[in-house]
Structure 1
């Protein structure tokens, strides 16, 4: 019977009746071979003790990488690049076994209790090499709250008190773990309900925390293969991330839904597409890629997109992240995803045929965003009501394998039904994907009105909508006096002078000054979201803009932490000798010398220090809209003279350390 079905399919395909066979039942192997791996077997491997949560920088992540690589080899996928499936990039990693963390509670009766990590408590941020002793308080009105550990019965008010308390001790049923490496001087500790009740009933007095953290840079790998098509200028990228958050103490976070599920589906779809292509080659390349580093901030996909955008003329992406949960609701498609709108509508058709429910709802951040950031149509297929991800309850017991199979079938049939199509957005779609200058100006005025009406404070932020675009506003401002900065960032040390230039003002985390357009925000009904607290902490600062003056000249100094620089519009002039660490920038279109920059390495962090020299009276109103705003202000000789002054008088590493570390 199987042979007759295959023969019939081949006849239909050869006769051109492809649409008739693209029904949802067509998901068996076209060669008639038995699949080597069931969905259950793949999932069981990915969430096994051996892989231990697949955290980048650990042996479990390396084993997961090798497992996926071997599956690609067995499918006979073509390596994506350089004859290898492994596409390396560097990211910061933190191996759980190389960290030391202890927590002791002292009670008022003089007794002490050391809590067990992963059983009694979980730390949620990194307190580098500290020995901290804080008195416990349960009063949010405590006048010495900045020097005490505030005890909270839920995470609801975490944002409110994070910038006020010396530390937070929070009751939580089921620990939550993140893979983002965030340094802070404010310890955030979750304790289980039993420990919380004991602290309350036994009058917990003091919490003692000791920590030693080792963070390093390490090469990790995306795994990428290819099913070659007839047109190698066009590509569909099917992706999922396979990394997760690993373990801490005795608590292992297996990550079945996030994202063992997406990777299981990806491998299943890849196997079926490869066998189909052996009989009937696709009209375009299909790239199968398992991303690493998603949990750390879309690191693997960001690196991959930077490469593939230069390989193909037309690309689109379908990403699979968090599917098959018995408890997480419908597939969510972000209604504000303009670039992926046509792609989403076509996917909805395939999901409907497989009885998979969906809704127009904000999904969240995943690797598809790396493609959208480069104006490439992309979408994530994922459930929108995820309750247990990043907790120990995200395990294989929550997985509905029949649901996973229907997702796999939907994607497989989508690819067959859209063979050769790229979903390239029209110019009109691209124009509407980002707000116009007019809308931005309207948003700026709206933001100022909201700040006045709602009395927004420096440490507060809000989101609001203008014509369907979401903007974020905050109470961030320009400080004209160094003493004002100290009120919020007491450990920040700002130079009064840089060479002959005197301090004028500073903006901390400059892009939150006024407003910023955001592609992914907090979903909310109505025009304005509720006001939330910003985490005002020197360790969470990523960008600083300082202004110094000398006579009519203004020197802007922008310092970015672990930031990338867009050099597509400029020519870089590298110097030698004592100036070898400095690079002059010149606009390629106008030929204007706009400034220079240098790079400073401190520990595992890289800082870019950018200098711009100009005369305010010669700037025009188009400064924000164009790079052509330094007309006749600088010559190469002027900038070299300034570099020589800085080399002679300023210790760049010390300046950066004073701004960003304590």
Structure 2
């Protein structure tokens, strides 16, 4: 899965000094915490509900009794604005039409939405034949895998043995609907051809509410400046209810919160004997299931207080049916992940390869270029289902991983990593204005068509002191080469690359109007024709019939590499082997007095349309030979660049 983000780059480090022997922690309180958080009183811990607020108060009480210090405004509560989709206000309906008979399906009993669309009204027939035979708009019904590259497939109906709930967020792609097994059988019994139509309606209504993360601190020595922080986190929210039954959310993630509280207790006790070098911050995040909303707000605020931050996030641990742990990181968390893997592996923990399905709050830290990882377990079968109950928790296993994390923290020496960019010297007021300008520009850009731009300013009612910024839509995605718009018709994308067929592409440009200062505020302008000199990046995916293939990113700006990557030379070209458990390869080509930067990965597309990296760490040299055979210079020139 690709994340399109803006970075703020700071010094990165993991650092704590402490004892040199392992310590044993008391195992008694885990089940008490889990039983409380999974009780009906908590009502599934959905943000915006009374149960979620009760969970906040419970964790706050725990932090108070431990003796943690508040971080924000002398309060353990860290408020943020949360986008809430009240389940009682949403309009989600689906029905099958056969012989003029309409069969209404019951939401959360017969079907649930896996991938939401905010405003949708479609009436389409069902299809189930091979992808290449589908040439009319339809909803694809399947029990297993499904195609995602046929423009005629407007939605997926996927039979699921257990319905799993997903809260609205992101709103990308086509609707994916999970249907119960008996509904799937009913469709097959009636015959796909005999179901004339499926009616699917989604009108999702959001409202802004105030929610809270719960934050406490153990102050370190700090060398008098307190600019370093290790942040340990776990999200406490869950999914509310489904078909009248509350989600316990035991594995996901009452287990992580129980582990967080026990870590807080024992780290606090340890600090009374020996102070940490850094501040240790313990955070129970809200809104993880709603698109990481709580952690995104937290990172933005905590970045104002600290120069150097690292994050260890706990999500879904203590499963009695799973003996293996997974540690996932974003691009800038590799050093942290490798150190933690080495430490836990040497203490007899089984660590498996990264699981791409495990996405959690560490991603929010990555957006600010902070090293961050999530530790969880590999078995996610019950996650987001009503079967995720407290009886799945093995408190001894939970205790073991908490002890492992604790001993890693107190035995790890400080590690200073390379400074990639000096932090901004802007004042807090200037930073706040810039944040607001970027937020306004982002909101306005979403309303523009590709190739449009406008000037927006704040405050709107004070022309003398207004600050302005350019909002533009210069990014477009396309799933066929014929869909490339006219204002970039000089771009020629090949349909076929060796044995691989074009699957999808994205292109983005950077524009700076020469007459910026004379542009009228809020007037929409159009770009008649983009120039290749304005190109920022071009992303292409090519796949074969088994959904294996290549991602090729062509950029006019260099990628950020570091001395941990491996360098190689082949046939006169330099390559950077970017190693993060799986490989992608960076290289450059210069022709016509212009340099292009390439990032290439071998991939396999999974059932959810996500691209999973395939090149393993020992396949770097073979990967380079494969890339050399593509002839990047000819490919780029033939595309008109």
Q: Quick check: TM above 0.5? A: yes
Q: Give the match for residue 604 of structure 2.
A: 530
Equivalent of 1:361, from 354, 367, 370?
Answer: 354
Partner of residue 378, structure 1: 372
Change (3 A) 1:61 1:143: same
Do structure 1's residue 40 and structure 2's residue 31 form an aligned pair?
A: yes
1:96–1:247 contact (8 Å) kept in structure 2: no
Query: Structure 1 residues 84, 173: closer, same or farther in 2, change over 3 A?
Result: same
Conserved 8 A contact 2:39-2:248: yes
Q: What is the CA deviation profile of residues 393-438 of structure 1, one whole-angstrom value per residue up to 9, with x for unaligned ones? A: 33223222111001111222223323xx4433145999xxxxxxxx
Tell me whether 1:503 sits opposite 2:495 in the alignment. no
* Structure 1 residue 115, shift from structure 2 partner: 2.0
1:466-485 alignment runs, 5 A limit:
474=505
- Residue of 56, 76, 79 corresponding to 1:85: 76
- Name the counterpart of 1:301: 295
Please say if residues 327 and 341 of structure 2, whose CA atoms lie closer than 8 Å, have aligned partners that are also in contact.
no
CA offset digits 1:290-311 (Å, max 9, x no partner): 1122233333222222222332
- 1:238–1:453 CA distance, 2 compared to 1 (3 A): same
Match of 2:44 in 1: 53
Task: Decide whether the 8 Å contact of 1:56 with 1:293 is kept in 2.
Answer: yes
Indicate which of 108, 113, 116 corresponds to 2:103: 113
Identify if the C-alpha distance between structure 1 residues 365 and 530 changes in structure 2 by more than 3 Å, giving closer, same or farther. same
Deviations 1:198-225 (A, max 9, x none): 1211243332334442212222211101
SS of the counterpart of 1:387? coil
Find the counterpart in structure 1 of residue 22 from structure 2: 23
Q: TM-score, normalised by structure 2?
A: 0.62
Question: In the alignment, what sits opposite 1:484?
Answer: none
Contact conserved, 2:286 with 2:295, CA < 8 A, in 1?
A: yes
Contact 1:117/1:248, CA 8 A, preserved across alignment: no
- Residue 408 of structure 1 is matched in structure 2 by 402
Q: Are 1:239 and 2:313 an aligned pair?
A: no
Correspondent of 1:424 among 416, 419, 443: 416
Matches within 5 A, 1:322-341: 322-334=316-328, 339-341=333-335
Q: CA deviation at 1:78?
A: 1.0
Q: How far apart are the structure 1 equivalents of 2:253 and 2:166?
A: 14
Deviation at 1:85, TM superposition (A): 1.0
Tell me the equivalent position of 1:547.
none
| Counterpart in the other structure of 1:319 | 313
Aligned equivalent of 1:149: 139
Task: Quote the offset at 1:66 in angstroms.
Answer: 2.0
Identify unmatched segments of 5+ residues in structure 2.
1-16, 423-492, 510-522, 541-552, 561-577, 586-600, 611-641
Structure 1: distance between partners of 2:40 and 2:582: 36
> Is the 8 Å Cα contact of residues 243 and 291 (structure 1) preserved in structure 2?
yes
Distance 1:197 1:534 in 2: 22
Deviations 1:466-512 (A, max 9, x none): xxxxxxxx36599xxxxxxxxxxxxxxxxxxx8886622599x9866
Equivalent position of 1:201 in the other structure: 189
When the two structures are superposed, what TM-score results if normalisation uses the length of structure 1? 0.60
Match of residue 176, structure 2, among 177, 183, 188: 188
Mapped to 2, the partners of 1:426 and 1:143 lie a distance apart of 53
Give the total of aligned pairs.
455
Query: Is 2:275 the partner of 1:286?
Result: no
Residues in 1 aligned to 2:41 and 2:583: alpha-carbon distance in whole angstroms: 41
| 1:52 positional shift | 3.3
Q: Report the counterpart of residue 223 of structure 1 in structure 2.
A: 214
Tell me if structure 1 keeps the 8 A contact 2:318–2:398: yes
SS in 1 for 2:148: helix
Q: Cα distance 1:191–1:524, how it changes in 2: closer, same or farther (>3 A)?
A: farther
In the alignment, the residues of structure 1 paired with residue 122 and residue 583 of structure 2 have an alpha-carbon distance, to the nearest angstrom, of 39
| TM superposition shift of 1:84 | 0.8
Which gives a bigger RCO, structure 1 or 2 (Cα 8 Å, sep 6+)?
A: 2
> What SS class does the counterpart of residue 397 from structure 1 fall into?
helix
Structure number with larger C-alpha Rg:
1
Match of 1:177 among 151, 154, 165: 165
Rounded Cα–Cα distance in structure 1 between residues aligned with 2:580 and 2:68: 37
- Residues 123 and 278 (structure 1), Cα distance of their counterparts in 2 relative to 1, 3 Å cut: same
CA offsets 1:95-139 (integer angstroms, 9 cap, x no match):
21221323232334x544322222211123445465543333333
Aligned-partner Cα distance in 2 for 1:166–1:138: 13
**C-alpha distance in structure 2 between counterparts of 1:201 and 1:179, whole Å:** 31
What is the rounded CA distance, in whole Å, between the counterparts of 1:304 and 1:73 in structure 2? 20
Question: Is this contact kept in 1: 2:140–2:146, CA < 8 A?
Answer: no
- Say which SS state the counterpart of residue 64 (structure 2) adopts: helix
String of CA shifts for 1:260-284, please: whole Å, max 9, x gaps: 2211100111112223334544343
Identify the residue that residue 452 of structure 1 maps to in structure 2.
497
CA, structure 1 residues 167+506, in 2 after alignment: closer, same or farther (shift >3 Å)? farther
Q: Deviations over 1:518-564 (max 9, x none)?
A: 9999968996113679989xxxxxxxxxxxxxxxxxxxxxxxxxxxx
Q: Is the 8 A contact 1:107 1:205 kept in 2?
A: yes
Q: CA separation of 1:104/1:19 partners in 2, compared to 1, >3 Å: closer, same or farther?
A: closer
CA distance in 2, matches of 1:83, 1:525: 45
The 8 Å contact of residues 365 and 372 in structure 2, kept in 1 or not, is answered as yes
> CA separation in 1, counterparts of 2:129 and 2:97?
18
Change (3 A) 1:175 1:241: same
The 3-state SS of whatever aligns with 1:302 is helix
The answer to whether the 8 Å contact 1:171/1:191 transfers is yes
Cα shift at 1:194: 1.2
Does the CA-based 8 Å contact 1:137-1:145 persist in structure 2?
A: no
Q: Residues 320 and 382 of structure 1 are in contact (CA less than 8 Å); yes or no, is this contact kept in structure 2?
A: yes
For residues 254 and 78 of structure 2, the distance between their equivalents in structure 1, rounded to whole angstroms, comes to 20
Instruction: For residue 246 of structure 1, report the CA deviation from its aligned partner.
Output: 3.0
**Cα RMSD (Å) of the superposition?**
4.0
Determine helix, strand or coil for the equivalent of 1:503: coil
Task: Choose the corresponding residue for 1:135, options 121, 125, 128.
Answer: 125
